[in-house]
Chains A and B, each alone.
Chain A
């Protein structure tokens, strides 16, 4: 399969703190990648660089052979860990916004999902619970027919029922030939869907292998390996 994301000697500092140190990796189309690591290990920064939200890095980043910019933003569907929609928006306002700016946005699909999850299209986001807001955001992101889905902590702060619902939204809606990167530290719920796992610690890649490869080589699940690696982190 062809490579869609490539980084070479990627480095990023915040002042004297090294957040990403020499990250070189490539991700193919059609794979679901788990980007795993403890809080503050550099997962979010790596995702933000790929999404085009952090520009002051050194090294090389290529998305579908282009540096992060207008084109790459048109093929990346990004879910940040924060609530990024204005709180005075209703889901309907957000749908209008996405429809205006993203050519690959499928409004019908988004409306169907809102209905399926019993989300009122006219209810203001500020009057919704955090879980409801996150569902709205994920519905928007997964209603695009993107080449890359970047999902940063999509399950953080949700109860188990909501986590299952979120995973269903992801699995039912991503394009088969797209690359999906899911950053999380809640691995129990998502291990089964990963094709590949990249574990990051202290800004460096510690493990980069297929999920099956990890299980075979180490004789343990991804969750167990994660706990082993980051036990004393």
Chain B
């Protein structure tokens, strides 16, 4: 049943999202044409537009995912979805999988659009330079780390949004309507950001960036607190320490938020 739910989720979401990819691809074509044509105002205008479109495609995808989740599960369509003879976790899992796929695809298309926009503006050389420097110091893997972190952040944000929408549909929040989801999202996010920051500072696992001598990155089992203390005291540290506790916290919270969302769908569902 999970496969069938995923199939319908893809089918229904692919009515809208690819339309924005098409617009992005169209503008990529325009920028490439403008770059070849050497008409400066045309090249600059289309490149700047493409930069905005690259960012917008990710934002729009998020908006569509959020609306789809609410509409399909907690508005009228919820009467259909929650009466299907399927396990509740399959409903949530199918939406999570499909949303992550669209988010990733939108990020890739968005990044491509931004890069081509930068190329159109003539600042792509800087990116090549950065890439060469990373290779020089054997730090190419940072790009991979950034991609993994973006995926993790996307999943975390998705779980938080699904959590907020689901909790806001408990009967005690019915009076607040859609505003309830916003309030729950904001309050939960603030609390989790504070706890996540504390995890980053005090959990003894960090990245140690040597930026003075030979540029290098290594894993260390020290916390970030000492580094922050030195910074506040005005001591110039030779190394930058970035706490990884926040990442661990996010991994834990992805599981916790998913579990609470699922339990609420199973035990506290109350469709209006």
A15 touches B172 (CB 8 A): yes
A51 nearest in chain B by CB position? B83
Q: Which of B101-109, B199-207, B262-270 lies at the binding interface?
A: B262-270
Residues of B contacting A215 with CB < 8 Å? Answer: none
Q: Provide the bound-state CA to CA distance between A56 and B265, in Å.
A: 10
Q: How large is the interface on B (under 10, 10 to 19, 20 to 34, 35 or more residues)?
A: 20 to 34
Contact of B171 among A15, A76, A80 (CB under 8 A): A15
Q: Provide the bound-state CA to CA distance between A54 and B82, in Å.
A: 10
Q: Using an 8 Å CB-CB cutoff, how does the interface string of A48-83 with B read, 1 for contact, 0 for none?
A: 100111111000000000000011011010101011
Contact of B87 among A54, A70, A76, A80 (CB under 8 A): A70
Residues of B contacting A54 with CB < 8 Å? Answer: 269-271
A104 nearest in chain B by CB position? B85
Name which of A51, A82, A83 has the most chain B CB atoms within 10 A of its CB: A82
Q: Using an 8 Å CB-CB cutoff, how does the interface string of B76-119 with A read, 1 for contact, 0 for none?
A: 11111011111100000000000000000000000000000000
A77 nearest in chain B by CB position? B83
Within 8 A of B (CB), among A68-122: 70-71, 73-74, 76, 78, 80, 82-86, 88, 97, 100-102
Contact of A82 among B4, B79, B174 (CB under 8 A): B79
- Please count how many residues in chain A sit with their CB below 8 Å of the partner chain's CB atoms: 27
B84 nearest in chain A by CB position? A101
Closest Cβ of chain A to B12, distance in Å, is 7
Q: Provide the bound-state CA to CA distance between A65 and B235, in Å.
A: 72
Q: Provide the bound-state CA to CA distance between A15 and B85, in Å.
A: 29
Chain A interfacial positions (CB closer than 8 Å to B) = 13-15, 48, 51-56, 70-71, 73-74, 76, 78, 80, 82-86, 88, 97, 100-102
Q: Provide the bound-state CA to CA distance between A105 and B236, in Å.
A: 72
Chain B interfacial positions (CB closer than 8 Å to A) = 1, 4, 8, 12, 15, 76-80, 82-87, 170-172, 174-175, 266-271
Q: Provide the bound-state CA to CA distance between A83 and B80, in Å.
A: 9
A52 touches B175 (CB 8 A): no
Closest Cβ of chain B to A175, distance in Å, is 17
A82 and B76 in contact, given A54-B270, A56-B269 (Cβ under 8 angstroms): yes
Q: Provide the bound-state CA to CA distance between A54 and B174, in Å.
A: 13
A73 and B83 in contact, given A54-B269, A55-B270, A101-B4 (Cβ under 8 angstroms): yes
A55 and B172 in contact, given A78-B83, A86-B77, A102-B85 (Cβ under 8 angstroms): no
Closest 3 CB pairs of A and B: A74-B85, A84-B79, A80-B79
Contacts A/B (CB < 8 Å), 22 sampled: A15-B172, A15-B175, A51-B83, A53-B78, A53-B79, A54-B269, A55-B267, A55-B270, A56-B267, A56-B268, A56-B269, A56-B270, A70-B87, A74-B85, A78-B79, A80-B79, A83-B76, A97-B8, A100-B4, A101-B1, A101-B86, A102-B85
B1 nearest in chain A by CB position? A101
A70 touches B271 (CB 8 A): no
Q: Provide the bound-state CA to CA distance between A73 and B170, in Å.
A: 21
Q: Provide the bound-state CA to CA distance between A88 and B77, in Å.
A: 12
A70 touches B86 (CB 8 A): yes
B8 touches A84 (CB 8 A): no
A84 touches B76 (CB 8 A): yes
B171 nearest in chain A by CB position? A14
Q: Provide the bound-state CA to CA distance between A158 and B270, in Å.
A: 28
Q: Provide the bound-state CA to CA distance between A52 and B78, in Å.
A: 11
Closest Cβ of chain A to B121, distance in Å, is 39
Q: Provide the bound-state CA to CA distance between A101 and B82, in Å.
A: 12
Residues of A contacting B12 with CB < 8 Å? Answer: 86
A76 and B83 in contact, given A56-B269, A97-B8 (Cβ under 8 angstroms): yes
B175 nearest in chain A by CB position? A15
B86 nearest in chain A by CB position? A70
Q: Provide the bound-state CA to CA distance between A64 and B175, in Å.
A: 34
Besides A84-B76, A102-B85, 12 more A-B contacts (Cβ < 8 Å) are A14-B174, A15-B174, A52-B83, A53-B83, A53-B271, A56-B267, A56-B269, A73-B85, A74-B85, A78-B79, A88-B15, A101-B85
